[in-house]
Amino acid sequence: MEIRDLFLDNPLRKRIYVDGKAVKVGLTEVILTPTHNAETHTCTPNEPVRIYDTAGAWADPSFHFDTSKGLPLIRERWIEERGDTEAAAPSYTSDTPFKNRPIRKAKPGARPTQMHYAKKGIITPEMEYVAIRENLALLNGVEGKMSPDAPRSSLFIQHPGGIPGVESGKIEITPEFVRDEVARGRAIIPANINHPELEPMAIGRNFLCKINTNIGNSSMASSIDEEIEKMLWAVKWGSDTLMDLSTGADITATREWIIRNCPTPVGTVPLYQALEKVGGIVEDLNWEVYRDVLIEQAQQGVDYFTIHAGVLQRFIPMAANRMAGIASRGGAIMAKWCLSHKKENFLHEHWDDICEIMAAYDIAFSIGDGLRPGAIADANDAAQLGELEVQGMLCRRAWKHDVQVMCEGPGHVPMQMIAENMEKQLDWCDEAPFYTLGPLVSDIGAGYDHITAAIGASIIGWRGTAMLCYVTPKEHLGLPERNDVREGVVTFKLAAHAADLAKGHPAAQYRDNAMSLARAEFRWNDQINLSLDPERAREFRSRGDKEFSRDNAAMHHCSMCGPKFCSMRASLEIKNLAKGE
């Protein structure tokens, strides 16, 4: 399929731009059909619904659609104008069309991080971009009211001084609010100065709940083209960030192609490339090799690094005797390194050195949870919680360097133990954004683990987790392919949306209401276009019902019940009958 066709398949979902002072923000507008009144034979127009868009220029018909040219450099001028960065000599080469692109680093002594600016009181274009992008309630003209339930995870409620209209009324997310959340470490805007293609976004529990997509090859499967395709599928279906977890061939070139074409932040686990550099021999890993990898990836434009610095020697015996040992690849590598050298984790020992590199490029930490449970029986055990406390200490040290931080979380956790994870993370990590893998609420879901994980993700998202790492149906069984990416992304968009709804986000409720009204009024095209995966909804609606098409999409039933047993059809009649009472 042509890339253009992948993104421009639906004329009723189109990319629009909203202008700010310094920025032009892309969103999706879902065009609705009018409501037809059968009695008066009149039509009432329905306002379009504006929803969050992650596809960047790929959703713009005027784009060149050529992956060898990459995305427009929307942040280039913002970065240059701040004047705190300078050209850097490249530390890596890649045989790609992008090999001569300019590379930047901080000027000596400068900290060009969003957190640094935020603490200084400076509102950056990135912050303004985020504010407009998150303003879906305002953009849809929705008056809001916050949920009194679960105050800790409810939107905005904890913001000191409040936001105009917290209780009810117009809810505006201001650039100043974004700045304040970033300054206090409760949200991050992952945005490497070498990833000027990126559309800024925020991860924090007072913003929309986000999702991450993992892609990447292994030594056994996939190619650069397949990975680019997975990236495009991820952003098409709404993935907010992307992790390239490649461990196979062409790591550097694969990443270059992805970053130059990816409109969302890109994260990696630098340890994987470091291990490749020492021929896969864990014992041969050392700080120097690792540092070089950090700098290479920093210059390429990776926006956040997962670093397993919380896997300390004292936790390893606890984890070794678990039901499922150490389920994190990075965690297992570092544990093995510690054991063979009888030394403390070198990532922990070099934390301040790492912070300085992160600060020079504005890379955010995603502090790894190397000891996350890989089995229900291991959930919330001493190894896991011990590491979480260390993650909190590492957070605070990173903040001193003005480096943005989020913390990674579990893993396999049964439902009744999920809330404790969130509570402890908020307490111990001073409200740094939590970013969880699932959690998976059972071990026996093989083949359906996107669902096992979406159940836990919805619950922990509701409780305040800022970003949910997707899981695909292939989890535990094999490397995800393109279709698994779609299945995982849409499933996790659903989990994140359910979390936003439960937190009382007025824009989330607005979209559900628009959907339900379309359902009650038999506006089938609107139902399809308001759903998370319109292509699948249309396919399912049409199948087994040959009469259905775009033209007669107003038919008052579907094949599930047929015309006589359609409750929505009866409801229309009941409404009229009840009026006459």
Q: How far apart are CA 298 and CA 209, in angstroms?
A: 26
Residues 6+ apart with CB under 8 A from 20: 128, 129, 131, 132
- DSSP assignment, residue 29? E
> Closest separation between CB of residue 535 and a second copy, Å?
8
- Torsion sign over Cα 98, 101, 107, 111: negative
Q: Looking at beta carbons only, is 14 or 336 nearer to a second copy?
A: 336
Between 13 and 32, how does the x/- string for binding to a second copy read (CB under 8 A)? --------------------
Q: Looking at beta carbons only, is 362 or 387 nearer to a second copy?
A: 387
The kind and range of the H/E element at 256 are helix 251-261
Q: How far apart are CA 538 and CA 174, in angstroms?
A: 37
Among the listed residues 170, 158, 169, 36, the one whose alpha carbon sits nearest the alpha carbon of residue 522: 36
Residues 226-265 that bind a second copy (CB under 8 A): 247-248
Q: Which one among 443, 465, 468, 553 touches a second copy, defined by CB under 8 A?
A: 443
Q: How far apart are CA 95 and CA 267, in angstroms?
A: 21
Between 138 and 157, how does the x/- string for binding to a second copy read (CB under 8 A)? ---------x-xx-------
> Closest separation between CB of residue 541 and a second copy, Å?
5
Give yes or no for a contact between 376 and 413, defined as CB atoms under 8 angstroms apart. yes
Q: Looking at beta carbons only, is 212 or 458 nearer to a second copy?
A: 458
Give the pair of three-digit tokens for residue 283: 């014992």
> Closest separation between CB of residue 56 and a second copy, Å?
22
Q: Looking at beta carbons only, is 248 or 433 nearer to a second copy?
A: 248
Residues 81-140 that bind a second copy (CB under 8 A): none
Q: Which one among 124, 135, 452, 525 touches a second copy, defined by CB under 8 A?
A: 452
Segment near a second copy (CB under 8 A); pick from 136-144, 184-192, 193-201, 508-516:
508-516
Segment near a second copy (CB under 8 A); pick from 135-143, 195-203, 228-236, 489-497:
489-497
Task: By CB under 8 A, tell whether 497 contacts a second copy.
Answer: yes
> Closest separation between CB of residue 568 and a second copy, Å?
7
> Closest separation between CB of residue 120 and a second copy, Å?
38
Q: Looking at beta carbons only, is 65 or 540 nearer to a second copy?
A: 540
Q: Which one among 122, 382, 446, 554 touches a second copy, defined by CB under 8 A?
A: 446
Among the listed residues 437, 327, 316, the one whose alpha carbon sits nearest the alpha carbon of residue 377: 327
Segment near a second copy (CB under 8 A); pick from 19-27, 70-78, 121-129, 452-460:
452-460
Q: Which residues pair with 174 in a beta bridge?
A: none
Q: Looking at beta carbons only, is 37 or 93 nearer to a second copy?
A: 37
Residues 207-226 that bind a second copy (CB under 8 A): 218-221
Residues 292-351 that bind a second copy (CB under 8 A): 316-317, 319-321, 323-329, 331-333, 335-336, 339-340
* Long-range contacts of residues 529-534, Cβ cutoff 8 Å, at least 24 apart: 529/10, 529/12, 529/13, 529/30, 529/31, 529/32, 530/30, 530/32, 530/49, 532/237, 532/238, 532/490, 532/493, 532/494, 532/497, 533/237, 533/486, 533/490, 534/10, 534/13
Helix axes 270-277, 287-300, angle to 10 degrees: 120
Q: Looking at beta carbons only, is 196 or 488 nearer to a second copy?
A: 488
Q: In a 10 Å sphere around its CB, with 0-12 CB exposed, 13-18 middle and 19+ buried, how is residue 24 labelled? A: exposed
Q: How far apart are CA 59 and CA 86, in angstroms?
A: 32
Between 262 and 291, how does the x/- string for binding to a second copy read (CB under 8 A)? ----------x--x----x-x---------
Give the pair of three-digit tokens for residue 546: 């040959």
Residues 357-416 that bind a second copy (CB under 8 A): 374-378, 412, 414-416
Q: How far apart are CA 470 and CA 348, in angstroms?
A: 27
> Closest separation between CB of residue 572 and a second copy, Å?
7
State the chain's maximal CA–CA distance in angstroms.
83
